[in-house]
Amino acid sequence: MNLLILGRGRTGALVAEIARECKHDVRVIGADDNVHAAGLTPEKLGGVDVVIDFTTPAVVVENIGACLIARKNMVVGTTGWYELIPKIRGEVEAASVGLLYGANFSVGVNLLFDVVRSGATALQHQYLGHIFERHHTHKKDAPSGTAAMLQRIIKDASGSELEITSFREGDVMGMHEVIFDSPNDTIYLCHDAKSRRGFAAGAVKGAEWIAGKQGLFDFRDIWRDV
């Protein structure tokens, strides 16, 4: 496939590396080449099969809009725009394209989502809960999209909204921990990323999956198919 990757940061660079290992043709553009989505015109996207976005919340919605106009399928790893999902869903359907988004494309994190959904029933049995997340000092959003997703999953499963505590320190790849505590015991559910590779590999697999499909999809709903 011909892939266009938006973002020259650490994750975007690793996605490009893994995509090339998978024998895909890859082009990468950074923020300077894509001001107000200038690099995403229908002419410039000719021949591109899937666009993969690892940019920032400030520009991701504009990038999505440009890709919809060009009718190009997308994988969006950028978070911080999910309040617009109902609006984007309608636009994706109107454009007859496919868009796959995810708070985290790691298989391990998506397993954690499933475990936490089950564990949330503890809150109905006199447990108290809390979410902790740690990332490197360069991460721009807090709480992380993954922590926000954990919070949402727990609220949907139990009706309780847990507080999130965020830490930014050193070069931590990403640690997410959910704690359910009672007078009798404590349950710890934790995912600690050793590198960005699992996240990046999942995004490439997502691009392979979304190619040729139509509709808006959340990676946590389809990762087993990937």
Candidate list 36, 87, 125, 135, residue with the active-site label: 135
- Which portions of the chain are predicted below pLDDT 50? none
- Helix (H) / strand (E) element for 218: namely strand 215-218
Cβ atoms within 10 Å of 21's Cβ, excluding its own: 10
- Helix (H) / strand (E) element for 130: namely strand 128-135
Place of tokens 């009798």: 184
Please say if 135 is a catalytic residue: yes
- What pLDDT digit, counting tens, does each position of 197-221 carry? 999 999 999 999 999 999 999 999 9
Residues 75, 118 within the same domain = no
Residues 48, 38 within the same domain = yes
Residue 148: CATH number of its domain: 3.30.360.10
Burial group, residue 118, by CB count within 10 angstroms (0-12, 13-18, 19+): exposed
Please say if 138 is a catalytic residue: no
Q: How far apart are CA 194 and CA 178, in angstroms?
A: 18
- What pLDDT digit, counting tens, does each position of 118-135 carry? 999 999 999 999 999 999
In terms of residue numbers, what domain contains 87?
A: 2-105+197-222
Q: How far apart are CA 44 and CA 59, in angstroms?
A: 18
Residues 137, 148 within the same domain = yes
Residues 11, 88 within the same domain = yes
| Amino acid 138: pLDDT | 82
The domain tally of the chain equals: 2
| Amino acid 10: pLDDT | 85
| Amino acid 154: pLDDT | 98
Give Cα 210 to chain centroid, integer Å. 14
